[in-house]
Structure 1
């Protein structure tokens, strides 16, 4: 009986360490934020998306007439929240993504009702391994 209990404790500790390792690896600065950004867009979560914004970014949203060469992250979050309210997400698909040593980009298609939008996201390296959104463009 004691051997079984010791075996179960060892298995539990191993499982706990595995879960902790997987959780911490999600937050490493080298993790690619592209998937999390896609999830934020898919769910229409402006606040979650804004957590990846650079301090200032380019924001162009043709369907609502937004065209800023530079806007502060807080203002960009409010604008994205307004876009998501006006065009609630039905689904989002990442169409293409790529990177260079200091840049990452992703393009995707966002559907809201019967309308579809093409979204481009450009990220710049802020610190080694950490990328921030520098530009978002939305076109119908």
Structure 2
């Protein structure tokens, strides 16, 4: 019997294993980036809610048992937002912080409108993440 030529088998096996390995590796990096962004958005929303609670618009309203009239961005400057959540500004991104008053709660929402996942396997379901903090009164 003749011995079969085994040259190139290592390269072929690497090609078969490399594609799923790299897809898995980049998917893990992408999900880690998303998790860091979500945690930073939660931190930013909590800092905004804390600012409204300390601010006169919320404290005075609660003391007088009226609905607070807080609106807008509790942390208006970029420097204040960077101090709270610096990871949100990586790659030139800029988070937004909004406040809404409804019913018996004040809601502070932090969002990253220009964030998008790098891997196309996720679709658009994880793009534009946001996190909210609600303060009852």
TM-score when normalising by structure 2: 0.32
Higher strand proportion: 1
With a CA cutoff of 8 Å and minimum separation of 6, indicate the structure with the bigger relative contact order.
2
Larger Rg: 2
Higher helix proportion: 2
TM-score when normalising by structure 1: 0.32
